[in-house]
Structure formats: C-alpha cells, structure tokens
Amino acid sequence: MILIFLLTTILAVLIVRQYKRARKLPPGPMALPIIGNIPQLVYQSWKHKGIVPAFEFFRKQYGNVFTLWLGPFPHISISDYETNHEVFVKNGNNYKNRLLPPLFEHFNAGFGLLFANGEIWTEMRRFTMLTLRNMGVGRDIMEQRVLEEIDARCAELNKEEVDGKIIVNHGEFLDLMVGSVINSILVGIRFDKHNKNDFFHLKHLTHQLNDVFTIFDMMAPVWIVKNFFPKRYAKTKSGMNAVSDYIGRVAEQRWEDVKSGKYVLNEENPKDFVDAFFIKMEKENKNGGHPAYTIKSLQYVLSDLWLAGHDTTAVTLASGFNQFMNHPEVMRKAKEELMRVTNNGSRSLSQNDRIETPYFNATVAEIQRHASVLNVNFWKTSDAPTTINGYQLDSGEILTAQLGGLHANENIFKDADKFNPDRFLENEKLLHQLIPFGIGKRSCVGENLARSNLYLMFGNLLLRYDIKPHTKLPSTADQLPYTSAKIPDRSVNLEFVRI
C-alpha cells in the first residue's frame, strides 16, 4: 500500500513538473511521463512509413516549430527556413554546441568534428576550413583533381564494355569515385585497382553504422547499449574505428618518417590534409603544444571528414541517378543544356560553367532536396536563454533545424513528394531555403567540396554516357526510412553507353 502511494506521488510530481515545463515550450503532442512522445513517434513513423513523413505530420498539426519529448527531455524541431536562419545564423553563437549522442561521444572521447564540443572542436573546425580553402577547394586546383579522378574512373569503366554497353553497379562506382577524391585530399592516396579492396572493406564496416544510426542509438546511455544490446555496441565500434584505424595507420607512419627525416614537409605547399596538420602541429609543439594538435586528434578528424565527406556526396549521387532513371525527361533536358555549354561535349564541364547551366543547377538542387541525407538532424543545446516564435526558452534547451522535415515542407516546396527541378527556376528564393549541408556554426565544413563534386561528377558523367536502367528501375524511396540517415537504392545495375 505504501509502495503504491509512493509511486502514485512520484508519478503525480512528474506529471505536474512536465506540464509546467511544457507550457513554456512550442506546441506538440501530449507527452507521457518518462517515455514522452516516443509511442506517438513510433506509431506515426509506422503509419506514414518513415521518420520524415512522421515529422511532417507533426509539423502540419503543430506548426513549423514543434516539441517532441524523447523520453523525459523535450526536443524542439524547426522546419522552416526563416526561423532556422533567425536561430542558428543570427544567434548562432548560442547554438554551437551539439547534444552529443552518448555512444558516439564515448568512442570519440571529445575529439573530432562530428561528436565533439568545446575548445578542441572549435580549433579543429577553424583549422579544417582554412586548410581546405588553402588546398584549393572551390577553385581550379581542386577542380582539376576531381576531373582527373573522373577520367581515371571512366577509363577503368570503359575497359568493361561489352557489345557497346557497360553494366554498372552505380552504387559501388560512385562510392569508389567519391572515396578516392576524399582519400587523396586527406592522405594523398587515391583508390585504384591495387588498393580498391581496402576501400570496399571500409565501406562494408561503415555501412553497418546505418543499421544502428537510429533515434534509440542517438539517445541511449552507453551502459544500456553495451550490456543489453552488445551486437549494436560492437557494430558501432567496428564501424567508427574502421576509418580511423585505416587512415590513422597512414598518418602515424608518415609522422614517424617525418621524425626520422625520410619524409620532408613542404610548408609552402603541403601535399594533403595530413601534411598541413603536421606542419601546424610542429609549430604548436615549439610553443608548448596544443591539445587539438596530436596524432590522436588527427585520427578522429580524418575519420569524421572521411565518413561525412564521403557519405553525403555518394548518397546524393546515387539518389540522383535513381531519380534520373525514373525521370528520363529531366536527364535528357539537363544533358541537352550541358552539351550546348560544352560545345557538344568536346570539353569537360567546369565550375565556371555554372552561370550557363540554370536547369542543371536546378536539377542538382532538386536531387539534394530529395536526397536530404539526414532523416533526423543532430540536436543542439542552447548556451543562453532565447526567444523562438514568441516562446521564451531557457538555457540548455534541445533543438535543431530538422532538415528532412524542412525539405518536405509542403508550405515551402509545393507537391514536395514530386521530383520537379522547375520549381527552383520558377521561384529562385527556394534555392536559399534549401540547406542540405546544415545551417549555422555546425554546418558541414566540407560544403564547398561537396558542391563541387556533385556539379562536376553529375555533369561530366552525363556528358560521357547515355545512361539507362538495366532490367528494372531503381527505387527512389529511402531504403531505411526508420533510421536517422537516408539510404538510396543501390541494388539495381545501370547501363552506360559511351557517347
């Protein structure tokens, strides 16, 4: 009897406290104590066949800014551009810290770019953006590197031609092309016939992360996952360690060679990201050292750049070709524009051509909108009290720009489920409301590189090949709609015919 009384009292206190707090927050469905809105989120995800449609359901019910209680903690989602810009750009300094998923924070130990906050993260983000800019990202020097990779990949592909056709697993082909560019930028090594098996081994391990990249895995305490879900724990560990171990070995060996004099760093012209890091590390060591400039820190930064830089671009490319196969009229119209600009394909497409390719630009934008890589964006915490849509929020509140929901927002993108590049030509303002790389202080550091890769790879492949489905059409649906990241259909082969 006493136990029942105590439990009832505790439940009543929790309900009252939650009710008082909820009154200060943007609207949302009524939440239960302890478990919050998890039952409603699970049900709506099941009913609407995915997390993004579930978020769109809640947006329609409660507005562009709404609150979902994930367990005992309220999470605020923002699904329109204007509010996101106000919060994360104009007041960006208040939202630079990410709510770190316990499991990923556990494995990264405060290092890297994705799952870190504080001084080391700030320094690494600044250094990474400066280094990529100095290496020519967004300029002719980096464009040439990307075009050389496209040439090399296509030369290998052409050797597989039979009866005028090349049967291509476009997922593997695009994965390898993007991975090779990223790897050459980071450690100066591209993937060719001698080492491409290393790449596919890495991809096998990192793809396992897709299965465990759910809201549960983003929230659950480490001890729960480790003790009650050991297979998920092991998958996450092996996936996250795969890239850091591979690239880490390259970096460690080079550092040993630097110390022994076998490898000489060129301060005026570093070969790759690792060289630039070592040059900076030597300077810092002369001044007593800096915690951000260590071999351990480098391993995690390289891993994050490789994982995020590769997956965002490769997923978008695969999604784009799936859309092309299902909308051949769009591909035909884009190709006609590209052919005109490049004098019937007599030269490669260059970034300098962007101003002359409005329809192709709009097509790439529509591909990015549909690909919208994260179903659930990473959550951030506020460092100071703030006001959002008239609601006075306390410091420490959890919120995010819900990109998947924003890009599916019918109030912004009419008939959002349709693939329609013309929408960006009819209303140029929509381009500014498309934010596939995030917004604010935690936006993607490799945005310029990714934009360059997408433009050059899509464009130059369309110029070189007539592409059509082999045996059946690929699906344009998300293959894992209940996880936090979108996965395109990579199961269908395509036919490439040289032009």
Cα→Cα distances 380→21, 235, 344, 402, Å: 19, 25, 48, 11
Three-state DSSP state, 390: coil
Nearest to 441 by CA among 394, 485, 378: 378
Task: Take residue 459 and report the two structure tokens written for it.
Answer: 């464009």
| Terminal-to-terminal C-alpha distance of the chain | 82
Rg (the chain; Cα; Å): 24
* 434-468 burial code (b ≥16 CB/10 A, e <16): bbbbbbbbbebbbbbbbbbbbbbbbbbbbbbbebe
Q: Are 54 and 41 in contact (CB under 8 A)?
A: yes
Phi, psi of 17 (to 5 degrees): -65, -40
Cβ-defined contacts of 77-81 (< 8 Å, 24+):
77/399, 77/400, 77/402, 77/405, 78/388, 78/399, 78/400, 78/401, 78/402, 78/406, 79/55, 79/402, 79/405, 79/406, 79/409, 80/406, 80/409, 80/411, 80/412, 81/406, 81/412, 81/432, 81/433, 81/435
Task: Take residue 327 and report the two structure tokens written for it.
Answer: 């909308």
Q: Are 301 and 111 in contact (CB under 8 A)?
A: yes
DSSP 8-class letter at 352:
G
Residue 191 and residue 198: Cα distance in Å, rounded? 8
The annotation status of 154 as a binding-site residue, yes or no, is no
Annotated binding site: 444
Annotated binding site for heme: 444
